[in-house]
């Protein structure tokens, strides 16, 4: 399977939205639904805490919270910053969660599974408060952590773990593996890649041939690279 850098993934996202008119909220829905599926398939929790940031990564986590709640799980949500600073698509997902009256708590609470949806591939430098405190909280817990797209605090191009960086039990990345994830198994844990409905044409336009990656399943487990 090919892997991409953060810059390549940004270009794929741009092609999706600007050239193919596949909106961010559609990709977010696909990401969150697959995240909910993997959470149940891999961990079988009865209670889940979703820790969401204010960007696209947080939006995917909020979608997962909705799907998991709809399936009868006890779901709580922590958001790292107020709704007023969320991106438009993420604020839309938060509004749905609020209208569903899911518990949105100020401080994280223990659950069978923690979903890390704080920071995606847009990280620059080390995480800062309040995200840094939430990462530290996740790392102190014994519950498994499932990260969306990348463990919060990890540079998805270099594989550098920031201070702090989530130590995930498993990571579900989106569309394609990121090169930095393959370089940091101690942060990433088990690595999965999920379909968010990127057409092969989008990959072709940046010179990547993908093939029928999701022909049999919308979530594919990636074997660790040989040492």
Per-domain residue ranges of the chain: 23-199+211-222
Q: In whole angstroms, what is the distance from residue 85 CA to residue 77 CA? A: 17
DSSP letter string over 71-83? TT-EEEEEESS-G
CA angle 109, 114, 119 (to 5 degrees): 105
- pLDDT tens for 97-139 read 999 999 999 999 999 999 999 998 888 889 999 999 999 999 9
- pLDDT tens for 156-207 read 999 999 999 999 999 999 999 999 999 999 999 999 999 999 999 999 999 9
Per-residue pLDDT, 157: 95
- pLDDT tens for 30-44 read 999 999 999 999 999
Q: In whole angstroms, what is the distance from residue 77 CA to residue 98 CA? A: 10
Taking all residues of the chain, what is their mean pLDDT, rounded to a whole number? 95
Domain 23-199+211-222: which CATH class? alpha beta
């Amino acid at each position: 399977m090919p892997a991409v850098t953060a810059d390549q993934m940004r270009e794929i996202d741009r092609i999706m939205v600007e050239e193919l008119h596949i909106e961010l909220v559609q990709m977010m829905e696909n990401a969150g639904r697959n995240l909910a599926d993997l959470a149940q398939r891999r961990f079988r929790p009865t209670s889940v805490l979703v820790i969401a940031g204010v960007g696209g990564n947080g939006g995917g986590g909020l979608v997962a919270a909705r799907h998991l709640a709809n399936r009868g799980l006890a779901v709580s949500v922590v958001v790292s910053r107020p709704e007023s600073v969320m991106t438009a698509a993420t604020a839309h997902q938060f509004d749905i969660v609020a209208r569903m009256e899911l518990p949105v708590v100020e401080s994280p609470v223990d659950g069978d599974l923690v979903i890390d949806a704080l920071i995606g591939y847009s990280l620059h430098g080390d995480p800062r408060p309040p995200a840094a405190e939430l990462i530290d909280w996740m790392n102190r817990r014994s519950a498994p952590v499932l990260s969306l797209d990348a463990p919060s605090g990890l540079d998805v191009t270099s594989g550098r773990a920031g201070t702090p960086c989530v130590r995930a039990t498993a990571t579900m990345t989106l569309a394609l593996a990121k090169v930095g994830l393959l370089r940091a198994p101690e942060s990433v844990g088990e690595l999965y890649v999920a379909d968010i409905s990127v057409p092969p044409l989008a990959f072709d336009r940046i010179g990547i041939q993908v093939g029928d990656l999701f022909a049999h399943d919308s979530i594919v487990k990636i074997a660790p690279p040989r040492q």
